[in-house]
Amino acid sequence: MSPIGSVNPLASTAFTRVDAPIPKIQINPQGPTAVPPAGGFGQMLEGLVSAVDTKESAAQSVTRKVLLGETDQLHQSVIAMQEASVAFSMMVQVRNKLVESYQELMRMQA
C-alpha cells in the first residue's frame, strides 16, 4: 500500500477537534457599517511609510555589518534587502492607486 493511501484524513486532530470555540457573528439589520480607523487615514498612511522606512534602515544596517565583516550572515542581509524592496514596491503601488482614485473622482465631478 502506498504512503498516500495509508493516511486517514479524519484521524488528524485538525478535522476532529470539536472543543474549539465558534466565533459569534452579529448581524446588523441596517447593513454593514464601516468603522473608521482610530487615528484617521493620514495617520494610517504615515504609519505605513514609517514601517517601510524601518525595514529599509534595518536592511542597510545588516548589510553594513556584513560588508564590514562584523557578521557572516549574508543570507540575512539578502532577505532583509528583499523585504525592504517588496515593502517599498507595495507602498508605491498603493500610492499609485490612491492617485488614480483621486483623478477618477475629479473626472466624475465635471
The angle at the Cα of 59, spanning 44 to 50, to the nearest 5 degrees, equals 15
What global pTM score does this model have? Answer: 0.60
| DSSP state letter for 35 | P
pLDDT tens for the chain, residues 1 to 110: 444 444 444 444 444 445 556 555 555 666 555 555 567 888 888 999 999 999 999 999 999 999 999 999 999 999 999 999 999 999 999 999 999 999 999 998 65
Pairwise CA distance, residues 63 & 66, whole Å: 5
